[in-house]
Amino acid sequence: MTQPFLQIQGIRKEYGTVVAVQNVNLDVEKGEFLTFLGPSGSGKSTTLYILAGFDNPTAGDIKLNGATLLSTPSHQRNIGMVFQRYTLFPHLSVGENIAFPLRVRRKPKAEVDAKVRQMLRLVRLEGYEDRKPANMSGGQQQRVALARALAYDPPVLLMDEPLSALDKKLREEIQYEIRRIHQQTGVTILYVTHDQEEALRLSDRIAVFSKGVIDQIGTGPELYANPATRFVAEFIGDSNFLPCEILSSAPGRASISICDTMTVPDVPMHGSASGSKASVMLRPERLFLSKASPDKGVPVTVSDITFLGNNIHVVTRTGKGHELSVRLPFGHEAIAGLSRGDAVWLRFDAEAAHVFGDSR
């Protein structure tokens, strides 16, 4: 078996009585773009800082090419880092900022100059060498920070919410730049964000953090199609949840009853339920509406219809008041003649449903 490039093994970090992260296990491939995604306070930065060596874990190990990094001080780990706030040296020019990590490593001047030019080209800031950071936009400053972090060819680059101080348009522009730079350099990137769209756009794989643990690791499509926990299902993409009753279950599957009106056999089930009560998750684009009474379905009332260009968003309500969003493609036959207040049937395929028990 080949050696994983970067290994995070059983990491736990306590701050006094606060357990910031626990049981974090992760193998990262060389050249991979892996994102830590999760809400504020879920332990993303803590894990990243332990990798950077700013902090030591309470338990666990991290290994690069099979050797522990914990005994190596931060500045000798050769790991690049870019933070949310621009951390450029304000009194140094752009060129001097990028040259800084090379000067610290006592590289010859000719090599430093060549590298600075190469890095400026990489982040598309040729001609800005003599500017001071204060005279540049936020997006440009983050590109300088990226150039500086990559200047000494670190095998791993860590980025902690590097775009969250920028506005949406600039953020998307730099996301595209980061993707290009990742592809051009082949550097392994560990990236932190709380923005699911950013994570989906950038990453090869995503580790979803919740309350100090990783709930699930996978590609964007894997997490979307097969969320391991209710939290992942809610955090990635849009989702509807309805209470349901478990009629029978086998490992990973369940037959359920919804709203006392619809029985769905053999639905994928995640976690286990302590009793017969559980929740069923349905993605808005996997639901259908029909006016004719079908063999099976949930009776709902249409409470709102919104035209969104390429799709139409229909909000429906069950008899018990549970709201369900339905997204139909523009021109879908079910839309014709549909108006607010209509009583319709909601349908879906069993494979589109996911049951979540109340215990993991």
Q: Which residues bind ligand ADP (CB under 6 A)?
A: 15, 18, 20, 38, 40-46, 209
Q: Considering only 38-46, 99-107, 313-321, 323-331, which stretch makes contact with Mg ion by CB under 5 A?
A: 38-46
Question: What is the widest separation between alpha-carbon atoms in the chain?
Answer: 79
Contact residues for 33 (Cβ-Cβ < 8 A; gap 6+) = 182, 188, 189, 191, 202, 203, 204, 205
Choose between 41 and 154: whose C-beta lies nearer to ligand ADP. 41
The arrangement of strands across the sheet holding 67-68 comes to: 18-28, 6-15, 59-64, 67-68
Q: For residue 258, how far is the Cα from the chain centroid?
A: 31
Q: How far is the CB of 220 from ligand ADP (least distance, A)?
A: 19
**Nearest-CB residue to Mg ion?**
45
Dist. CA 303–CA 324, nearest whole Å: 10
Choose between 107 and 211: whose C-beta lies nearer to ligand ADP. 211
The arrangement of strands across the sheet holding 298-307 comes to: 288-290, 343-347, 298-307, 311-318, 323-329
45 binds Mg ion (CB under 5 A): yes
Q: Considering only 44-52, 183-191, 265-273, 297-305, which stretch makes contact with Mg ion by CB under 5 A?
A: 44-52
Q: Considering only 37-45, 112-120, 262-270, 319-327, which stretch makes contact with Mg ion by CB under 5 A?
A: 37-45
Distances (CA, A) of 115 to 78, 101, 104, 111, 358: 17, 11, 14, 6, 55
Q: Do residues 55 and 74 touch, judged by C-beta distance below 8 A?
A: no
Structure tokens belonging to residue 231:
């939290």
Q: Considering only 20-28, 40-48, 105-113, 307-315, which stretch makes contact with Mg ion by CB under 5 A?
A: 40-48
Distances (CA, A) of 58 to 25, 36, 167: 14, 20, 37
Q: How far is the CB of 213 from ligand ADP (least distance, A)?
A: 11
Q: How far is the CB of 21 from ligand ADP (least distance, A)?
A: 7
Choose between 44 and 171: whose C-beta lies nearer to ligand ADP. 44
193 binds Mg ion (CB under 5 A): no
Q: Do residues 38 and 236 touch, judged by C-beta distance below 8 A?
A: no
Q: Do residues 124 and 173 touch, judged by C-beta distance below 8 A?
A: no
Total residues belonging to the chain:
360
Choose between 51 and 264: whose C-beta lies nearer to ligand ADP. 51
By a kind-dependent CB cut-off of 5 to 8 A, residue 46 interacts, out of Mg ion, ligand ADP, none, with: ligand ADP
Q: How far is the CB of 57 from ligand ADP (least distance, A)?
A: 12
Choose between 164 and 301: whose C-beta lies nearer to Mg ion. 164
Choose between 199 and 302: whose C-beta lies nearer to ligand ADP. 199
Q: How far is the CB of 74 from ligand ADP (least distance, A)?
A: 16
| Alpha helix positions (H), the chain | 44-52, 94-104, 109-122, 138-150, 168-185, 196-202, 220-225, 230-235
Choose between 83 and 345: whose C-beta lies nearer to ligand ADP. 83
Dist. CA 220–CA 192, nearest whole Å: 15
Q: How far is the CB of 204 from ligand ADP (least distance, A)?
A: 20
Q: How far is the CB of 318 from Mg ion (least distance, A)?
A: 39
By a kind-dependent CB cut-off of 5 to 8 A, residue 20 interacts, out of Mg ion, ligand ADP, none, with: ligand ADP
Choose between 41 and 155: whose C-beta lies nearer to ligand ADP. 41
Q: Considering only 17-25, 45-53, 147-155, 339-347, which stretch makes contact with Mg ion by CB under 5 A?
A: 45-53
Q: Which residues bind Mg ion (CB under 5 A)?
A: 45
